[in-house]
A and B are shown apart, each in its own frame.
Chain A
Amino acid sequence: MKSNRKVLIVGAGIAGLTAARELGRRGISSLVVEKGDSLGGRTAAYTCKAVNGRCQKCGACLVQDTLREVREAPEIEISLQTSPVAIQREAGGILARLKKGEQETQARFSALMLCHGFEPFDPGEKSSFRYREIPNLITGIELEQMIRETGNVIRPSDGRPAKDMAFVQCVGSRNPSLGRPYCSQVCCGYALRMARQIRAGSPSTGITFFYMDVQTFGRDFERMFWEFRDAVYWIREIPGDFFTTAEDGVGVVVEDEGEIAELTFDVMVLSVGMGHVPDQHVFAGWLDLRQGPEGFLVSPDRDGVFVAGSASGPMSIPDTVANTRATVSRLMDYLEERP
């Protein structure tokens, strides 16, 4: 099926790549512009969370499959280190000015798909966390990278293996005072999956969870939860003040079973949530896009403008794939309704 219709996709993360592949399957060519210098977006830095040879369905590896298919598809063009500097609707499509290095080009497209992803919450924003001062207080994303590179959990301060660790959930989520009045949906999933993997590799590692509610993550949540419930020490409180103890431990003061207790861990992991990208207002301004109640862009699904994946709200990798396919379906309807 040949077509001269071409879609501009902004962002080459899992959403942008999935969109390009799905459009390609329908015979629609696309240009994927990515401001960074590699493909795969944030997903490409996450670790596989399989336990004893069994997939836990985090979806991080999906980006590799998608990348291969994208590279093999002749109808997909990719431009790295490229950002749009202006996008506007015009009769019958989209007019975009794109900048690569010093060079600016202008091109017309049949439609636009914004797949610019999300920005993880920066715990440095909240001074009481003292995230930048405490070396063994890390984020979930840093833990992903650590496990991916080394296969172990070590204390960043001295490289010693972490014997006792804790996860703090809902950091930068479910918190209206931080302007984040929503559940980021992914943090329970990634934290529990990594915890389960760490325990499988090192059964003596102590793991504590500070949490409000455990959110569902995926279709085998029930099985995973039962297998996991007794392996972790659960404390229903989210601590907000951290300090360094002797020998570089991370300390917190919490109320546990009615007692005020000071607890110390080798490593504490802040399960940071998802926020919208800082420059989404630029896109919103160009195209008169609306922000939803959670602060992310709402996909207009008309006049050739579509938003997919975590640019439109917090979502897991499998949900991003589902959402992008659904958005492509609406985009195809739009293209087909036009001559």
Chain B
Amino acid sequence: MNAFPAEKKVAVLGNGETACRVSEELLRRGFPVLLLMPPEMETGDIPAGTEYVQGAVLVSVKGQVGDFSLLFQVADTREERRAGFIVVAYESIREPVYDVVGEPEHDRVRTLSRVEAQLADAGSPGEYRRVLFLDRLDGVNTVAGSERLLNLILELQEGQETACCLFTCQVKVASPGLEMLYGRIRDGGCFVAKTDFLSLEMSRKGIQARFDDIVLDDVVSVSGDLLVVGERERPAPELGKIAEILGLETDQNGYLQGDNLLRIPCLTNRRGVLVAGGSVAGLSTWEKSQNIPSVVEEVCSLSAWLDQVVPVEQITYDRDRCATCLTCFRVCPHGAILFTDKPNFLHLACQRCGICTSLCPNEAIELSGFEKPVFFDRLFSEGTVDETGALPRVTGFVCQRSADLVRQYLDEGDQAFGHVHWIEVPCAGTIRSQYILETLARREGADGILVVSCHRDNCRSGDGTLRAAYMVQQVKALLQTLEMDEGLVEHVPLAPNEKERLKREIKRFRGELKSRQHAAL
């Protein structure tokens, strides 16, 4: 029997082939699908058995994995439906790279998408003997973009016997089979010009392209009778609103995983909310082929987890202390707090980072297992000086994922670690400035404190690292105000594979503390 009555239905939000393929794969594994789509799909066929709502616009989402409630608008009515999982699967949009050529109104200039469509529909783009292809020239073209151009060139060369010339800053071949495809189009006579500059002259007779050949180091001229302009990818405009409604982190381009290594390949900052295809990034064919099964696998795994999970209270809440200031609700990186007249903690969504507890101004919430008395007990009753009596005494507040993970795999000879009083915390963002100040103030406390977090963009809780860095800054400022030495506290970002660096950092920190103590004497 299920400990938690989880909903199996998956809400898929999308407008094309990715959404259709994700739906198909999920249906095949027994997950009912609710597809929320625009009035018409742009590409792909909706698989049989999919329940779909045309013209559905998401309004709000409540709840947590296994029990989301989606409110959406269809024409004049609002509808609310339940789903266990949410997959955002919008296609990215394609923008021609007109940077070089401007946006000429010329019948000899066409976008890559248009020529691909002409080939698919009519089998030919028309009677063109010499075709020029333009990729980005600014150094940041992508595999996805190069791949489409190379495939099109091959098709025109082999099917239409067209002479082809590709202008590009560099040929992206970092995907299976692409180097060989590149070799094939060159063997087929395609001239590949690597350049960062191109000038075009259009006339009724054709196009004259002049470019700086980086390899030949000379200006070269090529003529053609059609110019195909390559495309770069951008996130669909819908993603901004969806990110806002779902509380998802976005990356610098606006895609939905945030700039976070730990979310790759398909996770977001909310458990049970997944991203697919063009909502992840402008993916190459190979990347897409890995991403979609990953999404399906994640739904299966989460579903297996929900079947056996017993929801535990992760957070203890003291209503009397709560000022209903909404801080916890605002700072939770995992969408695990629902605010009614008071905060409600969604225990299956909570990933136990404890950021809400460290930022609650009135200590109304505590992470279970890390309540203040328990924490202070560990801080002070265990004693901060180890048997070797190494001085100065250092206390290290360490994220369970960074230095604490390093510490678990130590050789016995790693002395430097034995001399630090380690206090592990679920996330460096959990550490309150009060803990640091009290540790420094008490007689049985420490001479210096290291706060060890993960690196930024490598934090399970998204911004735990930034919060720890900010907290240490605050403590340093406070120490300065008190005319104390701000160097007593330091923040060290560290990855779990940086054992040697942690040893060096401890040695350096202890050395600095020593010289400060000497200076003070």
Chain A positions within 8 Å of B, measured between CB atoms, are 1, 22, 25-27, 44, 46-48, 50, 53-55, 57, 59-65, 67-68, 148-151, 174, 176, 181-183, 185, 188, 212-217, 219-223, 225-226, 229, 236, 257-258, 292-294, 313, 318-319, 321-323, 325-326, 328-330, 332-333, 336
CB of A48 within 8 A of CB of B455, answer: yes
B498 interfacial contact with A, CB 8 Å: yes
CA–CA, A220 and B215, complex, Å: 27
B378 interfacial contact with A, CB 8 Å: no
Which chain A positions have C-beta within 8 A of B255?
Answer: 219
Which chain B positions have C-beta within 8 A of A329?
Answer: 293-294, 296-297, 300
Which residues 154-209 of B have a CB within 8 angstroms of A?
Answer: 170-180, 183, 194
CB of A64 within 8 A of CB of B405, answer: yes
B382 interfacial contact with A, CB 8 Å: no
Q: Given B176, B294, B408, which contacts A294 in the complex, CB threshold below 8 Å?
A: B176
B269 interfacial contact with A, CB 8 Å: no
CB of B180 within 8 A of CB of A25, answer: no
CA–CA, A283 and B498, complex, Å: 35
Which chain A positions have C-beta within 8 A of B251?
Answer: 219-220
CB of B264 within 8 A of CB of A318, answer: yes
CB of B173 within 8 A of CB of A174, answer: yes
CB of B405 within 8 A of CB of A68, answer: yes
B139 interfacial contact with A, CB 8 Å: yes
In the complex with contacts A50-B493, A213-B172, A183-B265 CB distance below 8 A: no
CA–CA, A188 and B143, complex, Å: 14
Which chain B positions have C-beta within 8 A of A322?
Answer: 264-265, 287, 290-291, 294
CB of B308 within 8 A of CB of A1, answer: yes
Interchain Cβ contacts under 8 Å between A and B, 14 examples: A46-B497, A48-B498, A53-B465, A59-B264, A64-B406, A64-B497, A148-B497, A151-B500, A151-B501, A216-B142, A220-B259, A225-B140, A326-B291, A332-B297
B512 interfacial contact with A, CB 8 Å: no
B341 interfacial contact with A, CB 8 Å: no
CB of A1 within 8 A of CB of B307, answer: yes
B483 interfacial contact with A, CB 8 Å: no
Chain B positions within 8 Å of A, measured between CB atoms, are 29, 139-140, 142-143, 170-180, 183, 194, 214-215, 217, 251-253, 255, 257, 259, 261-262, 264-265, 280-281, 287, 289-294, 296-298, 300-301, 304-305, 307-308, 401, 405-406, 408-409, 454-458, 465, 469, 493-498, 500-501, 504
Closest to A225 in B: B140
Closest to B406 in A: A64
CB of B180 within 8 A of CB of A65, answer: no
Q: Quick one: which of A174, A176, A222, A292 has the most chain B CB within 10 A?
A: A222
In the complex with contacts A54-B456, A329-B296, A182-B301 CB distance below 8 A: no
Which chain A positions have C-beta within 8 A of B497?
Answer: 44, 46-48, 60-61, 63-64, 148
CA–CA, A236 and B265, complex, Å: 33
CB of A219 within 8 A of CB of B281, answer: yes
CB of B173 within 8 A of CB of A213, answer: yes
Tell me, rounded to whole Å, the shortest Cβ–Cβ distance linking B192 to chain A: 10
Closest to A315 in B: B176
With A54-B456, A188-B174, A221-B142 given, can you name 11 additional A-B contacts, CB distance below 8 Å?
A54-B457, A55-B261, A55-B495, A57-B261, A60-B495, A176-B183, A182-B176, A216-B143, A219-B251, A219-B280, A313-B176
- 3 closest Cβ pairs, A-B complex: A213-B170, A55-B458, A64-B496
In the complex with contacts A25-B305, A213-B194, A59-B139 CB distance below 8 A: no
Which chain B positions have C-beta within 8 A of A325?
Answer: 265, 290, 293-294, 297-298
Tell me, rounded to whole Å, the shortest Cβ–Cβ distance linking B243 to chain A: 16
Q: Given A181, A185, A222, A223, which contacts B174 in the complex, CB threshold below 8 Å?
A: A185
Which chain B positions have C-beta within 8 A of A215?
Answer: 143, 170, 172-174
Which chain B positions have C-beta within 8 A of A68?
Answer: 405, 408
Which chain B positions have C-beta within 8 A of A221?
Answer: 140, 142
CB of B304 within 8 A of CB of A1, answer: yes
Closest to A68 in B: B405
In the complex with contacts A60-B497, A64-B405, A214-B294 CB distance below 8 A: no
Which chain B positions have C-beta within 8 A of A62?
Answer: 261-262
CA–CA, A132 and B176, complex, Å: 31
CB of B174 within 8 A of CB of A65, answer: no
CA–CA, A38 and B262, complex, Å: 24
Chain A-chain B contacts (Cβ-Cβ < 8 Å), number? 184
Which chain A positions have C-beta within 8 A of B179?
Answer: 174, 181-183
CB of B140 within 8 A of CB of A222, answer: yes
CB of A321 within 8 A of CB of B259, answer: no
In the complex with contacts A25-B305, A64-B405, A53-B252 CB distance below 8 A: no
CA–CA, A188 and B252, complex, Å: 22
CB of A48 within 8 A of CB of B495, answer: yes
CB of A26 within 8 A of CB of B304, answer: yes
In the complex with contacts A55-B455, A225-B139, A330-B265 CB distance below 8 A: no
Tell me, rounded to whole Å, the shortest Cβ–Cβ distance linking B177 to chain A: 7
Q: Given B142, B214, B294, which contacts A236 in the complex, CB threshold below 8 Å?
A: B214
In the complex with contacts A55-B261, A63-B497, A185-B175, A323-B290 CB distance below 8 A: yes
CB of A183 within 8 A of CB of B261, answer: no
Tell me, rounded to whole Å, the shortest Cβ–Cβ distance linking A210 to chain B: 14
Closest to A60 in B: B497
CB of B174 within 8 A of CB of A217, answer: yes
CA–CA, A219 and B264, complex, Å: 10
Which chain A positions have C-beta within 8 A of B494?
Answer: 48
Which chain B positions have C-beta within 8 A of A65?
Answer: 262, 401, 405, 496
Which chain B positions have C-beta within 8 A of A257?
Answer: 217
CA–CA, A332 and B143, complex, Å: 30
CA–CA, A196 and B90, complex, Å: 34
CA–CA, A59 and B300, complex, Å: 24
Tell me, rounded to whole Å, the shortest Cβ–Cβ distance linking B189 to chain A: 18
CA–CA, A322 and B456, complex, Å: 22
Closest to A296 in B: B176
In the complex with contacts A182-B180, A185-B175, A27-B140 CB distance below 8 A: no
Closest to A187 in B: B174
CB of B139 within 8 A of CB of A229, answer: yes
CB of A319 within 8 A of CB of B172, answer: no
Closest to A21 in B: B301
Which chain A positions have C-beta within 8 A of B264?
Answer: 57, 59, 318, 321-322
CA–CA, A54 and B469, complex, Å: 12
Tell me, rounded to whole Å, the shortest Cβ–Cβ distance linking A231 to chain B: 14
Closest to A49 in B: B495
CA–CA, A178 and B494, complex, Å: 39
CA–CA, A185 and B171, complex, Å: 13
Closest to B143 in A: A216
